[in-house]
Amino acid sequence: MVLFYKLQHSVRHLCWFFLLILAYCVPATAAAATYEDQVQKMYVAYYGRPGDPGGLNWWAGKLEVAGGDLSEIIDSFGSSSEYVDRFGNMENSALINNIFVQLLGRDADTEGLNWYLGKLESGDPDWSLASIALRITDGVQEGTDDNLVVVNRMAVANAFTLAVENGDQSYDGDSDILSASQLLAGVDSDEATLTLALSAISGSAFSYYSDNVNQDIVVNMCSACHIEGGVAAVSDIVYPGGLEANYGVLSAYILLDEGNGAVILDKVRGVGHGGGVQLPSTSDGYQKLSTFIDLVNNCSDGCVSANKDGLFNGVVLASAEQTLRRAALIVAERLPTSAEITQANSGDEGLRTALRGLMAGEGFHQFLISGADDRLFTETLWRNGSFDVIDAGADLYPIMANRENDLMRAGDAEAYYLWRREFTVGFARAPLELIAYVVENDRPYTEILTANYTMVNRGSAEIVGADSLTFPEGAAYNTFQKAVNNGHVIRDEQYQASELEQLEIGSSIRVLSHSGTVNYPHAGILSEPAFLARYPTTETNRNRARSRWTNYHFLGFDIEKSAQRTTDPVALADTNNPTLNNPNCTVCHVEVDPVAGAFQHFGNEGWYNDSWPGTDSLPGAYKEDANSGYQEGDTWFRDMRSPGLGEQIAPTTGSSIQWLAQHIVSDPRFATAAVKFWWPALMGAAPYNAPEVSSDVGFTEQLARFEQQQGDIAALGDTFVSGFDGGSAFNLKDLLVEMMMSAWFRGEGSTENIDSSRAIELANVGVKRLLTPRELDEKTYQILGLRWEEGNQDPWEPDNTYTALSSRYSAYYGGIDGKGTLVRARQITPIMANIAEANALWMACGAIIKDINLPENERRLLAGIDRNMTPNSHESDIRAALVGLHALMWGESVASNSAELNQSYSLLTELWEYRVANDTHSWAWNDESDFCSLPDGWWELNGDNAGELAEDPTKMLGTWIAMLVFFMTDFNFLHE
Amino acid sequence: MIKRRRLLQLASLLSAGAAMPKLYAASQYNGRLLITLQASGGWDVSSFCDPKVNIPGELEITRWSNSGEIQTAGNIQYAPYANNQAFFDKYHNDTLIINGVDAQTNAHSVGELHNWSGRNSSGYPTLSALFAASQAPEMPMSYLSFGGFNATGGIIRSSRIEGADRNALTTVLRPNQVPWEAAEHPLQVKAQMTMIRAAQEARLQSIIVDDTQLPLRQLNASAYSESLRSKDDLFAFADIIPDESAFPSDTDLGRFAGVSTLQKQMMFALLAFKSGTACSADLVQFGFDTHADHDSNHEPLMAHTTDSLDYLWSYADELGIADRLTVVVASDFSRTPFYNGFEGKDHWPIGSVMVMERNAAWGNQVVGATDGAQNALEINPSTLMQDNSSGTIIYPKHVHKALRNYFGINNSAASQLFPLSNTETFNFFG
């Protein structure tokens, strides 16, 4: 860590050049590199060229044998035929001067030249030309220009030798030697000469970086955050900018620790990376980065490598019919029709068409509402929480305030609470209904943020002044229409309200006068009162929660995981506006605060321009603080960043929230965020987070699945932008179809046994996820025609939509409340198993009695069966009925003599024999050892003959009831 | 066939839990019981167990210290704030305070993650989940969660039982019983249900043993199989749920914190413990994130929290399980040692952990420390004294490691999957 710190420090405060050199000088293994470096240096000085790999290694080996004493081998090194051929005709003084030129790039000074000449011509065997070269080399002083030239030439020589070794550079004959010598001769102490020479070496790390890495990866991706002042400014890598400087930083980091190359490759794949996935391992960019790291590490065989294996190799997809059934139950809350099944079985395009066909009607609407609420949690505002923006005292909606005052004054509590529930549901569901409206009408999904309207039910329509809308009787709560908010006013000089009155039902005010309603700046979900109220703000939070969740939901960016931050209390104990000035804080706030600023006109609870005199929402304490810097006319805090998105600043004119919406939907991240937003609704689990700790069990497998998923999400997002198969851009139905066509949704089994490693990789893939309470409720209804306790009165369920599963037991069955519990249970627990059992026990008897008394062509369950058929008399008919139930209840296609069917038939006979032996009652139940719950009113409809409907002469009705319990509590009924 | 060991390992890496080797039949577990209370949002320990007084010339750190002084109960110092005095006077002998715990973050989600799972990278379970998975995983509701942070690491499933509707709960606990009948009256003949269960189990096993099945299906089948086998143990819980008139009332804490169900959470958790159907529970009290009007919002919340802890211990006494109970109270982090411009306090990474046990040998003790400005001081892991040369800042991982060791679960199969290795060991518990 100390070294890391030093590197960071160096990067920021020292010359990049040092690092560039470091990239060439830090050896793979210290001793061997030392020998090679010594030999390389002699190649440069004596021969004026880089060593060839063979020669360099051979002489390094000899040097090692000599214990590192170069003088022992220097004469042999210098007496080569090459030297004679190239320099044999030169005078001694020229030879000595040539060493100076080749090594230091300058002529020898006269005094030195003469001294060395005297030694050479003295005949002393210790003063050969080669040994003189060694002495000149050893005499170079640190910190001099001479040393800088040596360092630069060594860097080029090493890069050249590596390129030859890698086969990227030719080094075969005189012309190559001449070229290499000229390359070195062109390098001096000027860093530009070094850069030029390095870029001329084919296959060198630098040239490879220049051609493949710098612009496409470092500049276009990494430098968005890894720069001074950027989100990743306190990370280990901060790019100064410029080709050479960036190269120096990156290569130095790679060489600093042998594991750093792998760290970089993990980071770009999203592992422990605040910036998420930048380069999936299957991408070309990842391969290029991997190659570059190998080059820097002088690792020609590939020290780091990408996983190119497909995650889904060997995974068997569910059939088209199975896929359609599963999709129908999840996205349409119904079973597919025969025509849809036929279409699905006609091939992939047929399946796509059939899947697309599911996306209509009430079931699909509810899928959209539920799926959106699982992310936005606005339903909780009317179910569980306060909703200040439309609560008592919400005096900026005068229609609401005055109506409330009227109803309270009248003292009719029921009328008041019914009215209140209606409009509260209207406001709370508006963001969800907006999404549904956009999707169901095939409007571009971008409209969820750019819509210049809201959605209202009868109650909220009144409050926003949408007087022209009409609503059907009996659907007051759940019928939504488009409207513009014309009901909001401001507190200005014309605004007057009464004092708070304590009335019988509660306290209330009247708005006595006001100026006109505001031109509400609709920006889709972003300006919805429910969205604003779900993430209320405070005087110090200043819309940052709204920013955080806007980033999260619509840009796929989790700011809390985005940056490495100091937690040093000393660093954080900064009262000089740290979010603007302290780098330890700005690292996040540079992203958070501009988006927060774009919400500038919405106050703490979500009202628009709620601060006097109605031109802003700044808190009074800030405006009245003489030291705050506030100036009249300001709409945002002066001690925060300007409203905007990232580095883009919103114009001061116009609506910043609408500007933000437009910029978000134009951001490439919006599309992939949409895929992530809808992923749990279809797949039953959120997309994976990147694994963060490499020592965790299963890290490699977790990384592989994460990468695959991110890659698939990115690909889906890309096509979402342009349109699937020629379709329109941003069509969510098309996106949902493609998500359901993927192996993530359709995986059904494997051609091979799945070992532990593969099991981790394939976790959360494919079929048989646990149904949610509502999904199970609707599946039960589609098959039985009944819902558990449907219609029981519950004054808090709109339009009497109460059922036991979806309402009373939802939380016990793993549902969310949108408040404290935000993630659904995805595996069944004993309590949940009890609820599933109760659902079956309360429904089975009524369903069977009802079904057996229907005409044959109206039967859902007991096709071809009458109450006198027993295993003894009608085995084949019973088996046929069971085949039908396997298909209906479980989506299983089994033969009448299959093992699965035999198992069910065996249970049926066992149950029947038990009833024959133990049940003496004439009905299908006996009110002592069992019980029957029939649908409300059904029994009475049959008048005097009611008893006949339950007659069970052969004990088979009771048996079928028990069998239905079996079918309804089976794994395959509870999971799809 | 899927192997049990493999199943455990896989489960830990998938999205939810799976089977664990059975250690105890539910009713036979007589070991320790664990409750953690999440003071969600970031509590102000300078007004609780790490009291701070204003320093002349420095920013105001606490309002109470303008007129009050730090109080002491036994060896524990506390702030004269809310109902602290009554609480510490009564419980100081049962209480260990660990001050100066550095959550290393100011972000709520990371603070919750770090304090309750022991590290600030995702993937690890809560202490309670790990405890349940290690101690009594096949209890039908071994790990209870009432909201808040409840990561399981995939080693166990969390169950929810909150709610004021007694009839709903008893219906859930005894599904094959007509709920309005006092005498036994099943909806379906019991012998037939036994036959149905056997057939279900046979079908489930055919999935569980087939290694060509994808892991999601296999683990979900395993979870269902296990649930079917243990769900009848829930009868014991149903048997002891009192009449609704005995339920503690919800507490309205005002507009900011809303209505608290904390005491009801406590009641259900203790009843589950008593019935042998659960051994750990995560409780949660929201509302501590007081960025504005700090004291007027925070003080009643602190009072309600300590009052509720008093209720918890009293009820545990009444049920006769207080001696088996350990309670851990902590938060995302703490609040700034100064007020912002709106009378609020923002996030501060240095907080405290409170551990309670009846007549604990390690009770009546404060370990860890902060300076006057609530900066964490380095503590020697052996001596537990301040030590600037060989001490270290206390992090949540240290607290978790000490608790794992104390509970004796540090070497359990579940803990092995989530090691807290290479950290100093603080022997907080003697």
Q: What integer pLDDT is reported at residue A580 of this predicted model?
A: 54
Within 8 A by CB and 6+ apart from A687, the residues are A676, A679, A709, A710, A713
User: Token digits for A77?
Assistant: 């090194």
Sign, Cα dihedral of B344, B347, B351, B355? positive
Tell me if residue B100 falls in helix, strand or coil. Answer: strand
Among B2, B59, B203, B216, the residue to mutate for chain A (most A Cβ within 10 A):
B216
**pLDDT (average), residues A485-494:** 95
Cβ <8 Å between A385 and B258: yes
Laid out side by side, the sheet with B325-331 consists of B158-159, B143-145, B280-285, B33-39, B325-331, B350-357, B95-102, B365-367
Beta bridge partners of A317: A747
Q: What integer pLDDT is reported at residue A587 of this predicted model?
A: 56
- Measured between CB atoms, which of A386, A833, A930 is closest to B188? A930
- Measured between CB atoms, which of B6, B203, B233 is closest to A903? B203
Set of chain A residues whose Cβ sits within 8 Å of the Cβ of B17 = 827
Asked which of A753-762, A772-781, A815-824 is least confident by mean pLDDT, the reply is A815-824
Cβ <8 Å between B102 and A619: no
Cβ <8 Å between B258 and A829: no
Find where tokens 């999203």 sit.
Answer: A270
Q: What integer pLDDT is reported at residue A941 of this predicted model?
A: 61
CA distance A825 to A835: 14
Q: What integer pLDDT is reported at residue A570 of this predicted model?
A: 53
Asked if residue A848 lies in contact with residue A793, where contact means CB atoms within 8 angstroms, the answer is no
Q: What integer pLDDT is reported at residue A581 of this predicted model?
A: 54
Cβ <8 Å between B202 and A903: yes
Q: What integer pLDDT is reported at residue A394 of this predicted model?
A: 67
Instruction: Outline where A441-484 has alpha helix (H).
Output: 447-450, 458-463
Tell me if residue A354 falls in helix, strand or coil. Answer: helix
Exposure string over B55-65, b if 16+ CB within 10 A, otherwise e: eeeeeebbbbb
Cβ <8 Å between A812 and B207: no
Q: What integer pLDDT is reported at residue A750 of this predicted model?
A: 93
Cβ <8 Å between A825 and B16: yes
The secondary structure element, H or E, covering residue A511 is: strand A511-513
Residue A505: pLDDT band with limits 50, 70, 90: confident
Cβ <8 Å between B14 and A385: no
Set of chain A residues whose Cβ sits within 8 Å of the Cβ of B417 = 697
Question: Phi, psi at residue A525, to the nearest 5°?
Answer: -60, -35
Asked if residue A270 lies in contact with residue A690, where contact means CB atoms within 8 angstroms, the answer is yes
Cβ <8 Å between B107 and A915: no
Instruction: Tell me the C-alpha to C-alpha distance, in Å, between residue A348 and each of A273, A354, A737, A738.
Output: 37, 10, 11, 11
Sign, Cα dihedral of A708, A710, A711, A716? positive
Q: What integer pLDDT is reported at residue A55 of this predicted model?
A: 87
Mean pLDDT value across chain B: 90
Instruction: Outline where B39-165 has alpha helix (H).
Output: 84-91, 108-117, 127-135
The DSSP letter of residue B64 is G
Nearest CA in chain A to B237: A831
pLDDT digit string, tens, across residues A669-687: 999 999 999 999 999 999 9
Residue A514: pLDDT band with limits 50, 70, 90: very high
- Alpha-carbon Rg for chain A in angstroms: 38
User: Token digits for A570?
Assistant: 């000393």
The secondary structure element, H or E, covering residue A507 is: strand A507-508
pLDDT digit string, tens, across residues A777-813: 999 999 999 889 887 666 566 766 788 888 889 888 9
Asked if residue A447 lies in contact with residue A395, where contact means CB atoms within 8 angstroms, the answer is no
Q: What integer pLDDT is reported at residue A510 of this predicted model?
A: 92
Q: Above 50 in pLDDT, residue A7?
A: no
Which has more confidence, A291 or B199?
A: B199
Q: What integer pLDDT is reported at residue A386 of this predicted model?
A: 63
Cβ <8 Å between A820 and B214: no
Q: What integer pLDDT is reported at residue B354 of this predicted model?
A: 98
**pLDDT (average), residues A334-363:** 96
Asked if residue A418 lies in contact with residue A647, where contact means CB atoms within 8 angstroms, the answer is no
CA distance B76 to B73: 5
Q: Above 90 in pLDDT, residue A354?
A: yes
pLDDT digit string, tens, across residues B359-396: 999 999 999 999 999 999 999 999 999 999 989 999 99
- Measured between CB atoms, which of A540, A841, A900 is closest to B340? A540
pLDDT digit string, tens, across residues A49-82: 999 888 888 888 888 888 877 777 777 777 778 8
**Read out DSSP for A819-840?**
SS--S---S--HHHHHHHHHHH
The secondary structure element, H or E, covering residue B78 is: strand B76-78
Q: Above 70 in pLDDT, residue A24?
A: no
Q: Nearest CA of chain B to the CA of A319: how many Å? A: 15
CA distance B308 to B316: 12
Set of chain A residues whose Cβ sits within 8 Å of the Cβ of B189 = 914-915, 918-919, 929-930, 962
Q: Nearest CA of chain A to the CA of B389: how many Å? A: 18
Asked if residue B152 lies in contact with residue B129, where contact means CB atoms within 8 angstroms, the answer is yes
Within 8 A by CB and 6+ apart from A637, the residues are A542, A597, A618, A622, A628
Q: How many CB atoms lie within 10 A of CB B412?
A: 20
Within 8 A by CB and 6+ apart from A67, the residues are none
Cβ <8 Å between B341 and A622: yes
CA distance A948 to B57: 91
Asked which of A276-285, A488-497, B327-336 is least confident by mean pLDDT, the reply is A276-285
Nearest CA in chain A to B103: A567
CA nearest neighbour of A823 among B128, B16, B326: B16
CA distance A426 to A414: 18
Find where tokens 């470092």 sit.
Answer: A218
The interface pTM score, or ipTM, of the predicted complex is: 0.90
Q: Nearest CA of chain B to the CA of A395: how many Å? A: 18
Cis link prior to A613 (omega < 30° from 0)?
yes
Asked if residue A23 lies in contact with residue A251, where contact means CB atoms within 8 angstroms, the answer is yes
User: Token digits for A606?
Assistant: 């979500």
Within 8 A by CB and 6+ apart from A943, the residues are none
Q: Nearest CA of chain B to the CA of A578: how many Å? A: 12
**Read out DSSP for A706-756?**
HHHHHHHHHHHHHHHHH-GGG--TT-HHHHHHHHHHSHHHHEEEESS---H
CA distance A594 to A472: 43
Cβ <8 Å between B216 and A931: no
Q: What integer pLDDT is reported at residue A843 of this predicted model?
A: 94
- Measured between CB atoms, which of A750, A828, A914 is closest to B223? A828
**Read out DSSP for A533-545?**
HHS---TTTTTHH
Asked if residue A518 lies in contact with residue A608, where contact means CB atoms within 8 angstroms, the answer is yes
User: Token digits for A101?
Assistant: 């030129």
Set of chain A residues whose Cβ sits within 8 Å of the Cβ of B161 = 812, 831
**Read out DSSP for B270-290?**
HHHHHTTS-SEEEEEE-----
Nearest CA in chain A to B419: A696
Q: Above 70 in pLDDT, residue B41?
A: yes
Q: How many CB atoms lie within 10 A of CB B66?
A: 9
Residue A648: pLDDT band with limits 50, 70, 90: very high
Cβ <8 Å between A750 and B212: yes
Asked if residue B95 lies in contact with residue B356, where contact means CB atoms within 8 angstroms, the answer is yes
Cβ <8 Å between B141 and A828: no
Residue A23: pLDDT band with limits 50, 70, 90: very low
Size of interface A-B (CB pairs under 8 A): 289
CA distance B59 to B61: 6
Instruction: Tell me the C-alpha to C-alpha distance, in Å, between residue B151 and each of A562, A680, B14, B211, B273.
Output: 21, 17, 12, 27, 21
Q: Above 70 in pLDDT, residue B6?
A: no
Nearest CA in chain B to A701: B13
Cβ <8 Å between B163 and A621: no
**How does strand B71-73 pair with strand B76-78?**
antiparallel
- Measured between CB atoms, which of B15, B255, B291 is closest to A826? B15
Assign residue B37 a region (left: φ > 0; alpha: ψ between -120 and 50; beta: otherwise).
Answer: beta
Burial of A940 (C-beta count, 10 Å sphere; 0-12/13-18/19+) = exposed
pLDDT digit string, tens, across residues B109-129: 889 999 999 988 888 999 999
CA nearest neighbour of B284 among B323, B318, B257: B257
Tell me if residue A35 falls in helix, strand or coil. Answer: helix
Domain assignments of chain B as residue spans, ordered by start: 4-416
Please give the single-letter amino acid code of residue A897. Answer: N
Asked if residue A769 lies in contact with residue A976, where contact means CB atoms within 8 angstroms, the answer is yes
Beta bridge partners of A608: A602
**pLDDT (average), residues B251-268:** 88
Q: What integer pLDDT is reported at residue A584 of this predicted model?
A: 56
Set of chain B residues whose Cβ sits within 8 Å of the Cβ of A831 = 140-141, 159-161, 172-173, 231, 234
User: Token digits for A287?
Assistant: 């391969």
Maximum Cα–Cα distance across chain A? 137
User: Token digits for A626?
Assistant: 């003489």
CA distance A112 to B120: 64
Nearest CA in chain B to A540: B291
**pLDDT (average), residues A855-877:** 94
Set of chain B residues whose Cβ sits within 8 Å of the Cβ of A906 = 199
CA nearest neighbour of A724 among A411, A425, A348: A348
**Read out DSSP for A9-22?**
HHHHHS-HHHHHHH
Q: What integer pLDDT is reported at residue A385 of this predicted model?
A: 58
Q: Above 60 in pLDDT, residue A20?
A: no
Cβ <8 Å between A764 and B14: yes
- Measured between CB atoms, which of B121, B219, B291 is closest to A541? B291
Burial of A808 (C-beta count, 10 Å sphere; 0-12/13-18/19+) = buried
